Homo-oligomer: A and B are copies of this chain.
Amino acid sequence: MTSEELLTVLAAVGHAQRLRVIAEVAGGRTYVSELARRLGISRPLLYMHLERLEKAGLVVGSLELSKSGKALKYFELAPFDLRVNAETITAAVAADAEGTDSDVKGNPT
């Protein structure tokens, strides 16, 4: 994991609104407009946050058609469990310095 990837997740999660979004989505899948109402924020704003969370791989969205024919964009939580400690961070920063060699270390024994 490069520091850029790590940063994408950390920066995504390092914001009050997005923390609330995650908490809400963790309670069950919802569609955007409904979520915006629940959180009391504007839909475009929520949209931006969801985009960022999705890019970080924390939530996944899917456009679905209700049986009434209306298009609803549902979001649900993606399984994630990131460890933030000195080891994770130094490894990520070191991965940058390694240049092109991505140095896959799934099991740093």
Contacts and interface: CB of A to CB of B under 8 A. Distances in A.
A22 B77 CA distance: 30
Contacts of A80: 84-86
Copies of this chain present = 2
Interface residues on A, range: 20 to 34
19 contacts: A3-B19, A9-B84, A10-B84, A11-B14, A11-B15, A14-B14, A19-B92, A19-B93, A22-B86, A23-B90, A23-B92, A23-B93, A26-B86, A27-B90, A80-B86, A81-B83, A82-B84, A82-B85, A83-B84
Interface of A: 3, 6-7, 9-11, 13-16, 19-20, 22-23, 26-27, 77, 79-86, 89-90, 92-94
